[in-house]
Structure 1
Amino acid sequence: MRKKCPWALKSPLEEQYHDLEWGVPVHDDRLLFEFLILEGAQAGLSWSVILKKREGYRKAFANFDAGLVANYDANKIIALLANPEIIRNKLKINAAVSNAQAFLKVQQEFGSFDAYIWRFVDGIPKQNAWKNMADFPVTTSESDVMSKDLKKRGFKFVGSTICYAHMQATGMVNDHTTDCFRHAEIRNAGKSIQGLTKSQRII
């Protein structure tokens, strides 16, 4: 049996997410926006709760089309607050809408959110070598800088801890434990882009 990060063994849903998504570099703006909203929704909760509601979020937030979410009005927010398929927290729902608006501004300025967000690791996934989950940092200097810049641009629920979770989810860092089968797979995939120029990496 292949070794896996211990957290992945808590439920079939978490195991599937671990095996297929967690730590894989993401360069698709729609998916980057999805993780941004889901990580914000997780604040104070477990990731397993969010995974169970992920499909509900996709339906409630137009499959994470930032252009559509940015135009959600007061009536739409009231409807979302009554939707049991998502986390019914007014601050988080309002943040999703304002974050969509800020997201569109970043896209306009940088050409894509991908080009913006990957600047915080210079376009190259950081390959960590943690032996145990207890070794994982909660924040890093990169997540601190990312959080500060996102807040400056009007984003909410983007503290440094949430930003680091976003970095882990979208493959900006490889935080699989070294004995996990995915650690080597993702590390080797990351090597394929290291020969690219900086501009090629982040577009």
Structure 2
Amino acid sequence: MGERCGWAGSEPIYVEYHDTEWGVPEWDSRALWEKLILDGFQAGLSWITILKKRDAFREAFQGFDPNVIASWGEAEVQRLLGNPGIIRHRGKIEATIGNARAWQRIEQREGFDRFVWNYVGGRPVQNRRNSLAEVPGQTEISVQLSKDLKKEGFKFCGPTIVYAFMQACGLVNDHLVGCPCHGGVAKLQDPPETAV
């Protein structure tokens, strides 16, 4: 049994996230959207900061239901700006509301899950990296997905944010080959019958 990916550190909340969530393919449209939003909130911060506040975020954002958030306006923005449990950044909060509307358009047209997974051909890309130094900050695919999300009206979705999202949601398996999670995640290649 090798060592887990070095970025996971030793803090229990981070280790558990690495071992049970990160890189596991996510096929649910709403859950994909939530992760993209949280990665947008991470911009300029560390992921562990977001992870520690994730429950507060979920409560403040009504379970990250884009159909609820899409109808929000200035009153909700003000409420969220007063919530110490989340990252109080007006631009990111307003972007979340706009991103909920963009999600609705894509979801109605083709399904947000299908839209996202099409960039990797509907199956996770199985990378075989030996060290964190080999893991890129962005890829051609993340650059293209970022551009296309922006065309759809999304904000806070640059290529680096999008690649972090792709890694977290298992569109790419970026667990290092020596990590005990690499093989287990690699076996989760096939979407459930109901997905994509």
- Aligning the two structures, in what range does the TM-score lie when normalised by the shorter sequence? over 0.9
Deviation by residue 1:5-31 (Cα, 9 ceiling, x = unmatched)? 111124111101001100000011121
**Residue 151 of structure 2 aligns to which amino acid in structure 1?**
K
Q: Are residue 117 (structure 1) and residue 116 (structure 2) matched? A: yes
1:74-85 to 2 correspondences below 5 Å: 74-85=74-85
Q: 1:189 Cα deviation (Å)?
A: 2.1
Inter-partner Cα distance in structure 2 for 1:137 and 1:53 = 26
Q: Are residue 18 (structure 1) and residue 18 (structure 2) matched? A: yes
1:11-90 to 2 correspondences below 5 Å: 11-90=11-90
Inter-partner Cα distance in structure 1 for 2:140 and 2:194 = 21
Q: Any stretches of 5+ residues in structure 2 without a counterpart?
A: none
Q: Are residue 188 (structure 1) and residue 192 (structure 2) matched? A: no
1:149-188 to 2 correspondences below 5 Å: 149-188=148-187
Contact 2:66 2:104 in 1 (8 A): yes
RMSD in angstroms over aligned alpha carbons? 1.5
- Name the TM-score, length of structure 2 as normaliser: 0.96
Contact 1:102 1:155 in 2 (8 A): yes
Inter-partner Cα distance in structure 1 for 2:10 and 2:82 = 29
2:99 maps to what in 1?
99
Contact 1:130 1:136 in 2 (8 A): yes
Aligned partner of residue 14 in structure 2, secondary structure = helix
Inter-partner Cα distance in structure 1 for 2:166 and 2:29 = 14
Deviation by residue 1:139-184 (Cα, 9 ceiling, x = unmatched)? 1010011000000011000100000001001000000011000001
Count of paired positions: 196
Deviation by residue 1:8-62 (Cα, 9 ceiling, x = unmatched)? 1241111010011000000111211110110000000000000011001100111
Deviation by residue 1:78-113 (Cα, 9 ceiling, x = unmatched)? 010010111000000000000000000000110x21
Contact 2:2 2:178 in 1 (8 A): no
Contact 1:119 1:202 in 2 (8 A): no
Inter-partner Cα distance in structure 2 for 1:201 and 1:45 = 35
Inter-partner Cα distance in structure 2 for 1:104 and 1:5 = 35
**The 10-residue stretch of structure 1 (138-147 or 6-15) with the greater mean CA deviation from structure 2:** 6-15
**Residue 4 of structure 2 aligns to which amino acid in structure 1?**
K
Q: Which structure ranks higher in relative contact order (CA pairs < 8 Å, sequence separation ≥ 6)?
A: 2
Percent identity over the alignment is 45
1:132 maps to what in 2?
131
Inter-partner Cα distance in structure 1 for 2:10 and 2:83 = 27
Aligned partner of residue 117 in structure 1, secondary structure = helix
Describe the shift of the 1:156–1:50 C-alpha distance in structure 2 as closer, same or farther (beyond 3 A).
same
Q: Any stretches of 5+ residues in structure 1 without a counterpart?
A: none
Show structure 1 runs of 4+ deviating over 4 A: none
